[in-house]
Structure 1
Amino acid sequence: MARCLHAQEAPCMTAILTPASVVDLELPPEDRGSSGSDRRDDIDAKQQKVARLLAEVGCEGLMILDPANFTWLTSGAVARCILDPKEQPGLYFTPTQRWLLCSNVESQRMFDEELDGMGFLLKEWPWHWGREQLLSDLLINRNVACDEPLRDAKPLGDRLRPMRQALTRYEQACAAQLGEIVAHALEATCRSANPGDTERELAGQLSHRLHRRGASPAMLSVAADGRARDYRRHGFTSAPLEKYAVLTCTARKYGLHVTASRTFSFGPPDERLRKEHLTACKVAATLIASTWPDAGFKEMFNAAKRVYLLTGFEHEWQLCPQGWITGRLPVELPLLPDSTTLLQSGWLATWGPTVGGSACVDTFLVDEAGPQRLTPTDQWPLVSLRISGSEVLVPNILER
């Protein structure tokens, strides 16, 4: 049942609570090269989807060149250290078999560390020949579809993208583990920061914590002492931290992306920041409470706009996107004010309202049981808001 709820203008309270619940699934092994049955079953199920799609479009083979589709159909394999997009590995599917298309430079590592035991065969090109010759050979006397424009191949990129947006149970477990990594990296960096640290130093610490646990930063942002009021996409600079900072990051692991933010201050935040953050929390809570399958984003956005209006920040929504669907790409689907999009079970929704110098960003799984927070807090102050009778908890400002 679709739900679109409105934030009440009731007083809120702050409390230290245990981490929010995440998806209760068996987590994937750290070594993605292992032959875990859950991942193999996930890949086999996707092979069946490909077979049905090929029968529907009347093709005998499907070629995959888009890196996002590559990670999707391999359930998390990632090519590394490739600078030329024309050297990226690809995939080739028939209804019953699948191949890795790869140069001789990458093939050994791909099978040792990414695809061992996952049911893939190999079609390899010598690095000095280039990928083009192998792709041309695969098209000879074959009726082939491809996810990117490729000569006579039938284009299917627009068909595949929505298929990958709804995460499988295995992918949901991967996203939950990534969400915990992102939240821990943000909160640990906030707790260890010192006055005088530069934004660059905090970004470096955040990146280090992500890499230590196998995640790669796709976006890092640190805004100290109100710089976010001037630039909503602020990155990080050599500016030193004096009073407070907002940290935001998007990280990648298993070919998936998760985004979150946390805000901290040395001592109590000033009244201006406190009011801005409370408003961001109210907008976020309104969006979170409405994160159910078949909820329409247009209606959700209108409810969020009303919160901005009632709190005296009616124009803030125009300065930054309020949310998006994430997954194999950092932004799989932008959510715009006039969007007719209905949220679907299995999607990952990132809600990211910003108000002045503050932000309240977290990623959620759209689920039949209600929104599942994938970026849980750990002994972090929370704001408790009542949304049409239900309690929604969102991260508050950590006072140090």
Structure 2
Amino acid sequence: MRYMLVGIAIAALLAGASQAQFGDSALSPPVITAAQRNEEITIKMFRLTTWLQEEGYGGVLINQYRNFQWITGGADMQVVTASERGPVTLVITATGGRYFLCSNSEDLRMQNEELGALGYEGVAWPWYEGASDSETMARAVAGIAQGRPLASDFDTPLATNESEALRGLRLVLTQSEIEKYRWLGRQCAEACEKVCREIEPGMTEKQVQAMISSELMFRDIQPTVLLMASDERLFSYRHPIATDKPVEKYVQVNICAKKWGLVIAVTRYVHFGPLPGDLGRKLRGCAQVCGAYLGATREGNTAGDVIAAGQEAFAFVGWPDEWQMHHQGGAIAYEEREWTGYPGARMPIQANMAFAWNPTIQGAKVEDTVLLREDGVLENLTDTGNWPTIPVRVGDQVYNAPSILVR
């Protein structure tokens, strides 16, 4: 059994309830206005419907969190944090029709707090009638699609999986996404730097992990990657997860964290006592390589061009093979890396894309999230101005690479 819960008229009536959540802004905290959010969604809907029409699709099913948050300008349906997919599926038609499909466990909140004010009609069914790929959902989709072929962002017999094409649509950021990213980058960097100033020798790596998780969540930011490690473990492992080991002298705080679907990546280090000369040399080497990556991050280049610049820089600073020991980063937006650069990669560098390059040399890494603006300027979204830095010349700019905080 299925039933149409909400029509356009009811959506209009409930718009006030949805706006009560956001106040006079499109999102909380008020980083952008409701008008800016609506403009963002309009731009994205134009991109999406144009692509659907060009590819001959009648519509698209969206169930991945990242695409859900992208197309809605930051609405949230996440229940299980460890899953890539959620309990609500959007159906957007090539002519701009907007629907959401879910069980009756989700529909009222979606209508009142997330989607009602955005013009979506809800189609719901009793929770006990089946999961998202059940016959119940198939009937709901059929009623909307009217026999037209559909795209999707997940594997389903109802549609063709076009996840990679949808990724391409979300890489170039709108102006309101950039405003959200600026706020988020600073918040994430401030959280990491605050924790680095509060860590004490004798704390365990897991305690440090709890500290940064708490600091981020206190700011209503969800950590998605937590790589905390200390001392000798940092020289042995490129992706160290936290253990019960007590901190002695050297600690890494490395996170990815998201809000409104947008993801920031940042790494900071703290060292207790004088910095060993070799460690300082490694970090300066990473800073030089990151500067080379940023210098090649310009419109018209490819991911492969960026990696080639980094390979040359690794050789120049005396570690020619270190690029092979860990991925070097890449584009970032609604995924921790939308793509990762590698030799010969053809992914294009475009204006208004964000990047997180992360060169490593055993025991050291430099990682910030930057925006390539339309004017060609690289804007460091995770530079707080309150951290020791290593200045690196990048064309006409100076990249203040994060150094190690010595306490």
In 1, Cα distance between equivalents of 2:68 and 2:103: 15
SS in 1 for 2:128: coil
The 1:387–1:174 alpha-carbon spacing in structure 2 relative to 1, beyond 3 Å, is: closer
| Residues 28 and 174 in structure 1, CA contact (< 8 A), matched pair in contact too | no
Query: Which amino acid counterpart does residue 373 of structure 1 have in structure 2?
Result: N
**Residue 78 of structure 1: aligned partner:** 76
Deviation at 1:374? 1.2
State the TM-score, normalized to the length of structure 2: 0.85
The 1:84–1:346 alpha-carbon spacing in structure 2 relative to 1, beyond 3 Å, is: closer
1:309-328 equivalence runs, <5 A = 309-328=315-334
After superposition, the C-alpha distances for 1:63-85 in whole angstroms (9 at most, x for unaligned) are 22233221111111222324887
1:161-310 equivalence runs, <5 A = 161-310=167-316
Give aligned-pair identity as a percent.
Answer: 28
Q: Which moved more, 1:124-133 or 1:318-327?
A: 124-133
Alignment pair present for 1:364 and 2:370: yes
Deviation at 1:267? 2.3
SS in 1 for 2:258: strand
After superposition, the C-alpha distances for 1:118-175 in whole angstroms (9 at most, x for unaligned) are 2222111221112323431122542031213332534433322211111111212222
**Residue 383 of structure 2: aligned partner:** 376
**Residue 126 of structure 1: aligned partner:** 126
In 1, Cα distance between equivalents of 2:165 and 2:225: 28
After superposition, the C-alpha distances for 1:7-47 in whole angstroms (9 at most, x for unaligned) are xxxxxxxxxxxxxxxxxxxx963259x98121122223322
Q: Which moved more, 1:301-310 or 1:53-62?
A: 53-62
Which of 115, 139, 142 is matched with 2:142 structurally?
Answer: 139
| Residues 258 and 330 in structure 1, CA contact (< 8 A), matched pair in contact too | yes
In 1, Cα distance between equivalents of 2:62 and 2:204: 43
| Residues 224 and 258 in structure 2, CA contact (< 8 A), matched pair in contact too | yes
Query: Which amino acid counterpart does residue 40 of structure 1 have in structure 2?
Result: N
In 2, Cα distance between equivalents of 1:387 and 1:45: 32
Deviation at 1:265? 1.0
Which of 353, 375, 391 is matched with 1:347 structurally?
Answer: 353
State how many pairs are aligned: 373
Q: Which moved more, 1:353-362 or 1:284-293?
A: 284-293
Q: Which moved more, 1:218-227 or 1:208-217?
A: 218-227
In 2, Cα distance between equivalents of 1:196 and 1:143: 62
SS in 2 for 1:284: helix
State the TM-score, normalized to the length of structure 1: 0.87
In 1, Cα distance between equivalents of 2:108 and 2:169: 30
SS in 2 for 1:350: strand
**Residue 114 of structure 2: aligned partner:** 114
**Which has a greater percent of helix?**
2
| Residues 189 and 205 in structure 1, CA contact (< 8 A), matched pair in contact too | yes
| Residues 27 and 74 in structure 2, CA contact (< 8 A), matched pair in contact too | no
Deviation at 1:389? 6.0
Alignment pair present for 1:335 and 2:351: no
Which runs of no fewer than 5 residues in structure 1 stay unpaired? 1-26
**Residue 91 of structure 2: aligned partner:** 92
In 2, Cα distance between equivalents of 1:341 and 1:85: 24
**Residue 41 of structure 2: aligned partner:** 43
What RMSD over aligned residues (CA atoms) do the two structures have, in Å? Answer: 2.2
Q: Which has the higher contact order (CA 8 A, sep 6+)?
A: 1
| Residues 350 and 372 in structure 2, CA contact (< 8 A), matched pair in contact too | yes
In 2, Cα distance between equivalents of 1:342 and 1:152: 32
| Residues 255 and 267 in structure 2, CA contact (< 8 A), matched pair in contact too | yes
After superposition, the C-alpha distances for 1:315-339 in whole angstroms (9 at most, x for unaligned) are 2111101112111121211211221
**Residue 55 of structure 2: aligned partner:** 57
| Residues 63 and 144 in structure 1, CA contact (< 8 A), matched pair in contact too | no
| Residues 218 and 252 in structure 1, CA contact (< 8 A), matched pair in contact too | yes
The 1:382–1:158 alpha-carbon spacing in structure 2 relative to 1, beyond 3 Å, is: closer
After superposition, the C-alpha distances for 1:86-123 in whole angstroms (9 at most, x for unaligned) are 86211011213201212211222223333342222211
In 1, Cα distance between equivalents of 2:351 and 2:395: 22
Query: Which amino acid counterpart does residue 38 of structure 1 have in structure 2?
Result: Q
Query: Which amino acid counterpart does residue 123 of structure 1 have in structure 2?
Result: V
Which of 366, 376, 400 is matched with 1:393 structurally?
Answer: 400
After superposition, the C-alpha distances for 1:321-375 in whole angstroms (9 at most, x for unaligned) are 1112111121211211221222111222111011111111011112222211111
Deviation at 1:229? 1.5
